[in-house]
A and B are shown apart, each in its own frame.
Chain A
Amino acid sequence: MIEYALFAVLLVLGFGFGQLNEQRHYKSIKKREQEMSVLPAVASKHPPTDTQYQQQMVIGSVVVASDYFKSFLANLVNVFGGRIRSYEPLLDRGRREAILRLKQEASKQGASMVFNVKYETSRIGGGVTTIEVMAYGTALIPAQNSVVHA
């Protein structure tokens, strides 16, 4: 009986802390998205040709872990099939956070925009679902702002 009680406690804790973390993360994401909207990151492969740019590869990477409740729900969906809704916000947070970090990196380089942005997702570890979302692209740094690296 203890194992079922422990299971119930883990589910409640997972649900509570998972929801809290998610809400806090989204709040932070939305605030930073507004701040960073001046620096566009686009999937286009054709940068503007009217200005001379220094090109620099930039990466934004984040590792997000699922909680007990989300993993349990996903496990159930795995049996019956269908959308794993519990993981969808997790991946959405991962992608948006990765882009924000990519923009942060680009901003530090003095870039005005990032082109040819792509995502990679990989699973880390074998136990609790933990994913890494990485966004990478080419930062375009106007020639006068370019940072010279040794």
Chain B
Amino acid sequence: MKSIVVVFLLCIFTFNLFSQTIKDTVEIKEVTITGSKSRKKDKSLVPMQTLSRIELDKISGVSAADAVKNFSGITIKDYGGLGGLKTVMVRSLGANHTGVFIDGVQFSDAATGQIDLGRISTENAGEVSLFVGQPSSLCQPARYYASASVISIQSLSPIFVHKNYSFKASYKTGSFGLKNTYFSLQNKYNHQIYSHFSCTYVNANGEYPYRLQYGSGLDTTLWRNNSDIESININFSLTKEFSDSSKMFIKSYYYWSNRGLPGAVVYYNPFSSQRLWNMDFFTNLQYKTKEAKRLQWLSNLKYSQNRLRYLDPEYLNQEGKLDNQYLQQEYYVSQAMLYKITDSLNFSIALDLFANSLSANLYQYAQPIRLSSLSSFSINYALRKMEINGSVLATAVKEKTLTGKAAPSRNELSPSFSLGYKFFNQPSLLFRFLYKDIFRMPTFNDLYYTLLGNNHLKPEFTKQYNLGFTGSAQAKFLHYISFKADVFYNRISDKIVAIPTKNLFVWSMHNIGMVETKGFEVQTHFITKPFLQNWKLSLQSNYTFQKAIDVTNSLSTSYKQQIPYMPYETFSTMFSIDYKKISLNYNFLFNGFRYILGENTYQNMIEAWKVTDFSILSHFKIKKNDVKFKIEISNLFNKQYEVIKSFPMPGRAFYFTFTLSNE
């Protein structure tokens, strides 16, 4: 807690420093979001998908999980309800292989390696993107190269049209006793300094009915209890632009929550009383030179802290409860540099150094500290028709523990390569190829968790290959039309899985799994030009097929069978009709059937689900202020389904959102 206060004081201090010294005003042009910016996905060498602010407004829900589940190649693991954990796997690689970034800062969790996207709000987001491989921008921290895929959330750039400030306030209420209050304030102190403060407070009982089938006969309706959630999210950023268009940017993020864990639905035993508290905090200082320069710099300095407390008040031990507390910290420094040798050839170097620690009140807990160094070198050669991008990442990891043996040091070299060939520019048609070799480090839980951990673990390696094309055009009636298709092949080796060792009661983590994935994705998108004066249509659909099979052991009954929780098919569509200032939005998601275990039998299957969300969004003006009103119906047809076995998902829900802003 103390350190948070210190960091906030530091924020205020730096802010004061800025406002005192900057007196000379240099005109800078305001950043606005243009239509063409979101189309960079059509030119990307790596598969990339984006949802813009306009599209984010149309979908149901305000978390990053609600946004990314529409992307192709994504499989969401959702434990249900407002407080349920939501992680994503990209192209069946497992949630630990997905890096999640907000404004260039990675959310890190060295304990589990997985980020709960349900906790990350998109209310401030200008766009949410998914990259297979890494973003092709070259001047970026080495961390971007260190995961198999990247989810990036970019905050809205400030817009000060007439005034020195802009505000936005919204209130959302509806099913689950949800009350979500959001407030955002942007201030411009002079031409060079502006700040953004936002705060979200969520409170809900989270309760919902679900249908439980006890077997082939009985079926009953029960309520999901102990699923309340209360959370606060505060974001603060302060930007100073210099006369040479370079930028200094400080961002602080705070999240606190207190929630009930309804747990798995256990037949004939409906009680649950476990609770979870989270506190996440980070602050990041960034300095960035102008993008057009021949020599570009990007520096980052970050501190982060994650606290977690898990309480089971009915645990049958001597104390009569289990109260586990964990504290994670990260210190991070990164320096990236880009140099343009010629207009078509440039290279970049980045060096990231960071330290992660985890302490816990567990018996003889190792209290590990991990020191990591990532250095990346990448080179980009762009001709009129062809573009080649190559990079290599060198990772060095050293670990120390307070008790017990630390994992051995690791040094890895991971290359990646991409190539694009442009057949036409307008309409555009681009062929692309990607190869990426990367790994994930074993997490602190994999290595040191009491009884379960195994400090001899190697990293889990992945190889990704992608071949595809993307085409887009504009036409008389169509503002935008695009079609993308990619085939991919992934291979995971040394997959970290829990297996029983020593004896039946102690499972531990081992590098024994091998998974092979073959799949393809198809994405289509079109937006019409306004017709009959005020009408506009837009349709966006994504389809993914993936066969992800276990190739570990040819003697096992799960050999060459689809891996658990991986549907063969996923499909999403977003359709909207705009009439004047009203838009009707239809969002459909389909996940094919999956198996909960490695054996592909009927007993292990969970059924496919189709869920439809519907919303109406309308804008109008009151005294120069923009008023937005949104009605959402999620799961319109009240589909009863499970994403994770024994964790039922909510049925139909209604929400009303009222937003007021001076933008």
The answer to whether A binds B is no
State the A residues within 8 Å of B (CB).
none
Interface, chain B (partner A; CB < 8 A) = none
